[in-house]
Amino acid sequence: MLGDTQMLIDRPAAAQSARQPAVKCILLHVQDDTSLEERFETALSLARASSGHLRCLHVTPIEAYVAFDTFGGIFVMDDVIDALGDAEKQLRARVEEKLRGEDVTWDYVEITGNVVAQILKHASLADIVITGREPHRTDFAGPAIGILGDLLQRSRTPLLIPSSKGSPFDPTGPALIAWDGSSEAADAVRSSLKLLQGASEVRVLRVDQERSEAFPGTQLLEYLSRHGIHAELTVNTNSSGGGDDYVAGCIMSQAQRMGAYLVMGGYSHTRIGEFLFGGVTRTVLQDCQVPLVIAH
């Protein structure tokens, strides 16, 4: 059986739906993959809604330029350099052509280096990072979940991952906060306040696993209210004793029913534990059908 309870806090005097997100510095990770269009449209929607500046960052992995011979030597391949240079020019021309017709301020940065390190460097003065689930040229870029895991573990800026199968991201639409009382969940909420302030509706969902909370759900509602965000708390009673897959399923189903983007903390367990034994973070990163805002 699944039991639901709700708790409401009085709405602040100013109508929340009349406000806009306060996200002013948006970092878009640009790479030529199948989710580029979703990321691009998400970035534009957020920049328009918040009157923010969009920085497009394209990182060419340093590994793309080198090869190893059978004796352990390293050499640079001239034909690869030419091919990568042409591909980068075409990608930049495509993105800039689209941006010139948009009513947002933007710039485009190209750099060669370690993908994760460069995104983290540029994210240090960004309000949010928009990235995807899959890398380009996986032969040297590494597995998508690996890259996302590195970003999530090391970044102090929340990641926004658009859905490739669900509805487009609406910065002023409803938001669902997945709450488990952990410091990671609290960090995700705090780092996403600028975005949440523009949401038309905010709900907090806790799937009760009979664990102690460092920060109770009612305290979260008070915290949000002090920042001008009205929220409702729903507690789903996990009487069946379901594990992480059950919890992840409840969270994603609720977000889909609301038509909301999802805010959650990532890796409340160690990352190696999540990798070996599964976990809510890993399941959501792989299967989430709604836009996801996640922070560690």
d(CA 15, CA 13): 6
Strands (E), 114-201: 128-130, 159-161, 175-178
Mind listing the pLDDT tens digit of every residue in the chain (296 residues)? 344 444 443 444 344 445 789 999 999 999 988 889 999 999 999 999 999 999 999 998 876 665 544 454 454 555 666 777 788 999 999 999 999 989 999 999 999 999 999 999 999 999 999 998 764 444 444 444 567 778 888 889 999 999 867 678 999 999 999 998 888 899 999 999 999 999 999 999 998 755 555 566 889 999 999 999 999 999 887 656 667 788 888 999 999 999 999 999 986 544 444 443 347 878 888 878 899 999 97
Same domain, 129 and 246: no
Nearest CA-CA partner of 286 in 131, 135, 148? 148
Domains in the chain, number: 2
Domain that holds residue 234: 2-19+172-295
Q: Where among 137, 161, 185 does a domain terminate? A: 161
Whether 205 and 234 have beta carbons less than 8 Å apart is answered as yes
* Distance in angstroms (rounded) separating the CA atoms of residues 216 and 224: 13
- Residue 44 CB burial class (10 angstroms; 0-12, 13-18, ≥19): buried
> pTM of this prediction?
0.83
The DSSP bridge pattern shows strands 53-61 and 25-30 to be parallel
In-domain check, residue 222: yes
Burial zone of 262 (CB within 10 Å; 0-12 exposed, 13-18 middle, 19+ buried):
buried
Q: Where a domain ends, among 161, 192, 215? A: 161
User: Does residue 167 lie within any of the structural domains?
Assistant: no
Distance (Å, whole) CA 133 – CA 148: 7
SS3 state at 134: coil
